[in-house]
Amino acid sequence: MVEFTCPQCGWSGEFDARFAPWCVPNDHGLIGTEELRKLDGEKRRDRRRRETGRRRAEALEKRLAQAESLKPGGLARLCALLFALVVHAVTLGVLVGSVLLLINGVWLLWIVALLGLGVVWQMRPRVGRRPKEGWYRRGDLPNLFALLDRVGAAIGAPTPKAVRVDTAFNAGTQRLGLRHEPVLTLGVPLWQVLDGGERLALLGHELGHQVNGDAARGLLVATARQSLWEWRVLFYPSSRGIGPVRGTAGLAQLIVPVVLFPIYLFVTGLERFYAWIQVHVSLRAEFLADEMAARTASTDAAVRLIRKLGAFSAVASYIGRVKAVRAGSREPVTDEEGVALWQGLREHVAAIPEMEFVRQERVSAFRGTSVDASHPANHLRSALLKERPRHEAAVTVSDEEWKAVNREMAASMVAGGLILLR
């Protein structure tokens, strides 16, 4: 601890020198003691991984601030394709080897072949089921799909074939089925706390993922990443949870982790290669999706959207309190309670003071936090939008059009509230 006096506001006191780079004038106390405790309690490996990710994301943001285009480069996408081909080639090799052992005619090798086929089945590429029940089509939500058509036309993205509503404070897009159809998922809590411009920015961001050059979201790379995760689970060299065994089984218990260790090193190497791909493809594509959100709804709306994403803890806290108050009641949840939940949530988020959003941005910068490894920290996303050329809204929606969208989505919004309150 060192003595510190702010030259502008005159605040003085003891200050931890480790956090000096994150201190700015008139910003004292915004990093709470709970954040400091989290950092102190971090494992060295986790801290090193977090710091590495933060440095990479910050360096990328600085480069992109002056770049002509945010689209991932061809070399990075070629590396993503190479990663996928290696993973799927190994799976195919195990399949071919198992089949050859089966037709060899030596019955002792059939056991190895059957084990190989089991491994192939576990590591098989999964494309996801084609959207059926629980998904809305154009005929179910015509006004929303008409809005999605306009957003897609503004950024050159395909309109989702189906839309699903869930209870997460999030939104997402993906492609499902053998035909690789684009679909959209909207989280009710997030949708409810956004204004019209922020909703347009959200739709522009999510549809932008379909055309932002993110090879990691493509069918080939996405299925390879899933197969790689199955490899880690299957070949992790550990006997934890298995009690000591004597005799031949005990010897096998000692030998198996040693045999699996080279495979584990191979899997770990591929995972680190994929982490490099995420930095040079997924993070850059995420920044580009933000720019598409700005082109759709304006830079200001996109920045407000990213700031609202920082209200996750406030939203979770409010929903938790409402659910706890109702926990003692034996009466079934009514539609009126579902409507009241969202009305109260909107008022709760609207009442959050500006200083709290500033604190969330500072915490994001302090910890380098992000949704996952494929997303940059929120403060970097906002910073890049402000440093890049500004955009005006390419899509505008009247109040009457928003009312029409809200009316047709009302039932699914209420249903989401009932799920959360049960």
Q: What is the pLDDT of residue 396?
A: 94
Whole-model pTM? 0.78
For 312-337, write each residue's pLDDT tens digit. 889 999 999 998 888 877 788 888 99
Arithmetic mean of pLDDT, 199-219: 85
| Angstrom distance (rounded) from CA 258 to CA 268 | 16
Largest CA distance in the chain: 85
Top mean pLDDT of 131-145, 287-301, 360-374 is at 287-301
Distances in Å between the Cα of 382 and the Cα atoms of 65, 243, 399 are 11, 52, 27
Among positive and negative, which fits the CA dihedral 197, 199, 203, 205? Answer: positive
Closest CA to 95 of 122, 55, 69, 73: 122
For 174-192, write each residue's pLDDT tens digit. 888 777 788 999 999 999 9
* Residue boundaries of the structural domains of the chain: 2-69+284-421
Top mean pLDDT of 80-89, 169-178, 297-306, 319-328 is at 297-306
What tokens does 99 get? 């089949």
